[in-house]
Amino acid sequence: MSRDTDISGKLDWVSVLLYVLMVGMGWANIFAAVYDETANQSIFDLSLNSGRQLMFIAASVLIILAIIIIDMRFYETFAYVFYAIILVALMLIPIIGKEVGGNKSWIGVGSFGVQPSEFAKFITALAVAKFMGSVGFRMDSLRNQTILFVLILVPLALIILQKDFGTAIVFLSFLIVFYREGMSPFILIVGVSMAALAILTLIVENQWYLHGVIGAVLLVIIFFGKKNFKRISTLTIGAVILILTIESFDYVINNLLPERHKKRLEALVNPNFDPMGINWNVTQSKIAIGSGGFSGKGFLKGTQTKFDFVPEQSTDFIFCTIGEEHGWMGSLIVIILFVFFLQRIIFIAERQKNRFARTYGYAVASIFFFHFAVNIGMTIGLFPVIGIPLPFFSYGGSALWSFTVLLFILLKLDAHRSQVLQRI
Amino acid sequence: MNEGRREIVQIVFALVGIVFLVRLFFIQVLDNRYAELADGNAILREVEYPFRGLIYDRNKKLIVYNTPEYDLQVVMKEVKNFDSARFCSVFGLTHEELQQKFKEVKGRKNQYSPFKPMLFLNQLSHVDFARIQDHLDEFPGFYIQARTTRAYQSPTLANALGYVSEISKETLARDESRIYKQGDYVGQSGIEAFYEEQLRGKRGVRFKLRNVKGIEKGSFKNGEYDTLSVPGANLYTGIDIELQRYGEFLMNGKAGSIVAIEPSSGEILSLVSGPSYDPALLTGKNYSSNFKLISNDSLKPLFNRPLMAQYRPGSIFKIAQAMTALQEKVITPDTRIRCDRSIINCHGAHSNEDLRGAIANSCNPYFHNVLRRMLNKGVANDPFADTRIGLEEWNKHIMSFGFGKRLGIDLPNEKDGLIPTPAYYDRAYRNRPWKFSNIYSIAIGEGENLVVPIQMANFAATIANRGYYYTPHLVKAIGENGKPLPQYSERHYTSIDSSYFVIAVDAMQEVVEKGTGQYRAKLADVIVCGKTGTVENNPPLFDHSVFIAFAPRDNPKIAISVYVEDAGQGARAAASIASLMIEKYLFGGTKRPHIEQYVLNNKFE
């Protein structure tokens, strides 16, 4: 046991340092986001988000110690058990959960609530890694691919049932893991094309224009190429699939998507769409960040975030406080930290000696990347407003703990990488 | 098979970071719009309206002051959960009026912004404010802006004071100083307009931080950019408000004017225009309806007669004729002229008066003859050319009394009056020849002569001063310890030798003591010098009753002109009113209640 816990020499201190930096900066900005000059407040005040966040940080330290103490084999061994438990928890939520901000994703524990969907992220990562790390796993097997998609789509579907669309689509980040492990890029390309088509469907009022363009392009391609039957039939089938896709998007958007998500999608593609209503968040978020200028207004000197112009300023929109008070320089530092952190995790993943650990590492990187890209993207108007937190910065216990567990399981595995038998 | 995929993932991660930084550079560093929008969000610009200057009378009694009133403003963006039925009941509006208001606010071209406070209801009174104050928090987005409106100690002096109202779009467009903003109040006539620059003061601005609900969160940068409002300067006038009120009391029901001047300074003691109106009517939220009412009144209460009514002067003009003739040496004080009523009619029993007797009896043939001597001195053989030369000289002398051109009083819209020149008659006769016999009615203050009442009073003051006048003015000093205004301390001398005025003074004393004015103008305790005038009117209308006077004879304290339209002989209404005013000013009240009753009760028909 002593050999197992005394890993200080092997722990990746670069990652730990980045973690500490980001959590610390997050904490200061949470204080700034809710700071009221007239109230003579302390950053430690437990009635403030910053005070409570400090408690969450303290709990995180305990969680980290626990992760380090627990045997590294524990995570792989019990991955499917955790997965089963979290699925049950997610299924129970519609029955015993409480609703916060339009999402019914919380389970109350005293005055604090926890979100099982947050923990589903690292648990699914473990399950996926375990499956992909299993003996005889081949990425090119259709059966394996099907199982992998089921593994990520079941929690995704359960979370969508809680109307927490943001957290649900986080599970799409596993596509990056699959890609790394050999999945055909075709699926990613198709996915991106579908997204582009979806946006076009939103922008173009009448989808018959799109159909017309597709038909015209098809005819041009046929006209200028070899005119054999196989080529023409393949192209025609492709075009029909595109047209059917557009039709189905149109149907989904107009009939299945919740009204607020539909509006948010419309708001994204049309910046002038309802700036005081559905686009209020993005408008105010951009005003806050944009008003920071090059070097910012100074710590606690921001007016937009602390005076509540930006909604949810200590959780999903925490980046506004950074942008407003620390300007472009502050944004630069945060973004460089994140990009460096992501690269470091890829580096760690790649040096693992078994597929389980490497796959898990990629899952960690992908999940962090997805949060980083979507969260900052939405605050600066590059992505629809989807409520997911900025890792380590956003206020909230469940999110912080989930991200901490996600990261430190990887660091624990990494610390013991030399003990692991190569199983590739 | 998975070669290079690690690098692709790493490149994608880095690319996203770079895209973010580029985008952030655009919105944070290159685009300044966001900073402005942020200030607009969080910084509330609160205007502090200055107090308009107060107006005092010569005894430092307050005439005009300010009283609070309240404008209701709306920031459309902040209006939430608006309960229109409740709003209507609190503010006493009908549903249609409310909809109309919203439409009007949103329709303001180049003005409307959903983020800025817009004027919604203006000029709520103190009483209205007290009623709605407690309900204001039910209507987020609505704010009260306090400002002040004019108030008056007594319903008097309306035309001289003028009024204050919202600046018109045209005035705003013409305002190059850029001091005014839509919704500002500005002096529109009288003292309020003439001294607008001194009275208005300077607006103050406070910048306050506020949160998204509009709740104030302290001052912006510790008030570094705040400016305090500077109240307007107080004006100290020469008006004797008691005398003014008494004058308006006497003029009640009559049309005409009373102008009283302190000869030794040119300060106007009272400036009565009849009929008048209560100045308080043109303040507050009933301004527009009241203004319409007053301006459509057939008696024209907004017409400031002392400055704007141009009348023929009548017999008071004979004094000026006499002195001009003495100066031109065509007569001496002892020149006697037979009262030959063949060309021009006369009144009273007299036959061959000298100058004093002619003035005392207001002998028309005498002055007809005097004017002939002046205009036809025989310098040219041709009677037409001779009249021309004479009229030129005559005009110069008469105008030196302050007739025929604006005196330059500190009020807008003063009229010139008219003293004819040869050029004037050329135009009138369309270049056909004219000579004395065509124009002789100007000899007795009829004909083409036009004067305004303030010029008549100034004429009386000039005689009282024995040959000079100060430009009549209302305001003696700006500010509590303000110095006398230099433009009003210059003496304007007539072209007549001072010695001839002594003769005029004697004659005017005789008018009151033995002549046409004796019965009602004479006072027991002071020597009053005066001159009656009865200005011909078109029958069946009565003649206009005119009187000018000053008192005491030596070291005069008050010079006065009274002009009562359609009231018959000058010795009646005008002389009575003038003497009552003198009595009031010098002794504080009248000892002759029967004269007062005569003025008040007699219809002068």
Whether the predicted pLDDT of A111 surpasses 60: no
In this complex, is the C-beta atom of A313 within 8 Å of any C-beta atom belonging to chain B?
no
Candidates B6, B7, B19, B34: best to mutate against A (most CBs of A within 10 A) is: B34
Q: Which pLDDT band, with edges at 50, 70 and 90, does B51 fall under?
A: confident
Note the pLDDT of residue A99.
62
The verdict on a CB contact (< 8 Å) between A179 and B9 is: yes
Residue B364 or residue B129, greater confidence: B364
The verdict on a CB contact (< 8 Å) between B10 and A346 is: yes
Q: Which two tokens stand for residue B366?
A: 């005498």
CB count, 10 Å around CB of B103? 9
In the 8-state DSSP scheme, what is residue A389?
P
In this complex, is the C-beta atom of B17 within 8 Å of any C-beta atom belonging to chain A?
yes
CA atoms within a 13 Å half-sphere pointing along the CA-CB vector of B98: 14
Whether the predicted pLDDT of A1 surpasses 50: no
Q: Which two tokens stand for residue B412?
A: 């807008």
Distance CA B50, CA B54 (A): 12
The closest of B402, B531, B396, B533 to B459, measured between CA atoms, is B402
Note the pLDDT of residue A423.
46
Percent over 90 (pLDDT), chain B: 51
Q: Which pLDDT band, with edges at 50, 70 and 90, does B121 fall under?
A: confident
Note the pLDDT of residue A276.
57
Residue B369 or residue A272, greater confidence: B369
Note the pLDDT of residue B312.
92
In this complex, is the C-beta atom of A49 within 8 Å of any C-beta atom belonging to chain B?
no
Note the pLDDT of residue B60.
92
Q: What is the pLDDT of residues A379-406, one digit of tens each?
A: 998 887 778 899 999 998 889 999 999 9
Note the pLDDT of residue B378.
86
Question: How high is the mean pLDDT of chain B?
Answer: 88
Q: What is the pLDDT of residues B379-422, one digit of tens each?
A: 888 889 999 999 999 999 999 999 999 999 999 999 999 999 99
Residue A309 or residue B362, greater confidence: B362
Note the pLDDT of residue B201.
87
Note the pLDDT of residue A409.
95
Whether the predicted pLDDT of A421 surpasses 60: no
Question: How high is the mean pLDDT of chain A?
Answer: 84
Q: What is the pLDDT of residues B447-458, one digit of tens each?
A: 899 999 999 999
The set of residues, in sequence order, having a beta carbon less than 8 Å from that of A50 and lying 6+ positions away, is A27, A30, A31, A34, A43, A44
Which parts of A140-185 are beta strand (E)? none
Distance CA A105, CA A78 (A): 24
Helix (H) or strand (E) holding A100: strand A98-100
Q: Which pLDDT band, with edges at 50, 70 and 90, does A284 fall under?
A: confident
Please give the residue of chain B at the shortest CA–CA distance from A377. Answer: B20
Judge contact between A125 and A78, C-beta under 8 A: no
Whether the predicted pLDDT of B204 surpasses 70: yes
Q: What is the pLDDT of residues A329-353, one digit of tens each?
A: 999 999 999 999 999 999 999 999 8
A contacts of B3 (beta carbons < 8 Å): none
In this complex, is the C-beta atom of A323 within 8 Å of any C-beta atom belonging to chain B?
yes
The closest of B313, B305, B270 to B581, measured between CA atoms, is B270
Distance CA B343, CA B365 (A): 8
Q: Which residue has the tokens 């309802």?
A: A274
Interface subset of A 209-268, CB within 8 angstroms of B:
none
Q: How many CB pairs under 8 A join A and B?
A: 120
Domains of chain B are 48-237 (3.90.1310.10), 241-601 (3.40.710.10)
Whether the predicted pLDDT of B274 surpasses 90: no
CA distance B288 to chain A (A): 37
Q: What is the pLDDT of residues B468-505, one digit of tens each?
A: 999 999 999 998 888 888 889 999 999 999 999 999 99
The closest of B101, B8, B297, B55 to A180, measured between CA atoms, is B8
In this complex, is the C-beta atom of B209 within 8 Å of any C-beta atom belonging to chain A?
yes
